Homo-oligomer: A and B are copies of this chain.
Amino acid sequence: MAKLYFRYGTVNSGKSTSLLQVAHNYEERGMSVLVLKPGIDTKGKQTVVSRIGSSRTVDVLIGEGDELTPQKISADTSCILIDEVQFLSADQINQLLEIALLKNVPIICYGLRTDFKTKPFPGAARLLEIAHGLEELKTICRCGKKAIFNGRKLGGDFTSTGEQVAIDGENKVEYEALCGKCYIKLVGPLTGK
Contacts and interface: CB of A to CB of B under 8 A. Distances in A.
Contacts of A193: 94
Interface stretch (A37-45, A134-142, A166-174): A134-142
A129 B128 contact: yes
Given A129-B120, A130-B118, A184 B53 contact: no
A46 interface: no
A72 interface: no
Interface in A124-158: 124-125, 128-130, 132-134, 136, 139-140, 142, 144-146, 148-149
Nearest to A68: B191
A21 interface: yes
Contacts of A189: 98
A124 B120 CA distance: 13
Contacts of A118: 129-130
A134 B137 CA distance: 12
A20 interface: yes
A144 B78 contact: yes
Interface in A13-57: 13-14, 17-18, 20-22, 24-26, 28-29, 31, 50-54
B52 A28 contact: no
A53 B54 contact: yes
A148 B101 CA distance: 13
A26 B54 CA distance: 18
A1 B179 contact: yes
A130 B144 contact: no
A188 to B, nearest CB: 12
12 contacts: A1-B179, A17-B21, A20-B52, A78-B144, A91-B191, A98-B189, A98-B190, A98-B191, A100-B180, A118-B130, A125-B125, A125-B128
Q: Which 5 A-B pairs have the closest CB atoms?
A: A128-B128, A14-B21, A94-B190, A52-B54, A94-B191
